[in-house]
Amino acid sequence: MRGRPGAYFGGIMGILLGGMLHAQEAVPAPVPPLLPDHAVVARLIAEQADVKASDIAVAVVIGVEAEICKGVKAKHSAQAIFMWRVVQDGRLARRAGERTFHWNEDLGWFMYRVVRIRGGEAIDICSEHHGLIQVR
């Protein structure tokens, strides 16, 4: 090959280094929606409480940093404040409620609660992508 001495070698090294640098670029982490949509919040609350979503009126959703357990904080969380109809003493009554939602790539927006079942406890997760899941 004629031309500058080492030009061929330099060209190959440039291609290899460029490929290695490109391969090492960090894959960007998924970014959650800023806040869950009011309709998603109402649907998840309704699904977890086994009521109609139309019985839930979401007043406000705000972004928060929530502590999941001692010393563990979730960065992608939201607090929803809402009104809903509940049966109390055989009559319908409107009550205020609040729920904390978290986000991850697999579940989307979700909330969870610990419930008592025969033989101990379980975790009910109500998620945007998978619906209601119980972990025993």
Reading the block at residue 75, the tokens are: 């960065």
Counted domains in the chain: 1
- Specify the pTM: 0.73
Assigned domain for 114 exists: yes
Assigned domain for 27 exists: no
- Position 133, amino acid: I
**Residue 42's domain spans which residues?**
38-135
Assigned domain for 16 exists: no
Separation between Cα atoms, residue 68 and residue 111, nearest integer Å: 11
Assigned domain for 62 exists: yes
Assigned domain for 86 exists: yes
Assigned domain for 6 exists: no
Segment 46-95, tens digit of pLDDT: 999 999 999 999 999 999 998 888 888 888 899 999 999 888 899 989 99
Assigned domain for 79 exists: yes
CA 106, 74, 41 angle in degrees (round to 5)?
60
Segment 109-135, tens digit of pLDDT: 999 999 999 999 999 999 999 999 999
Backbone angles phi, psi at 15, to 5 degrees: -65, -45
Assigned domain for 60 exists: yes
CA 36, 42, 43 angle in degrees (round to 5)?
95
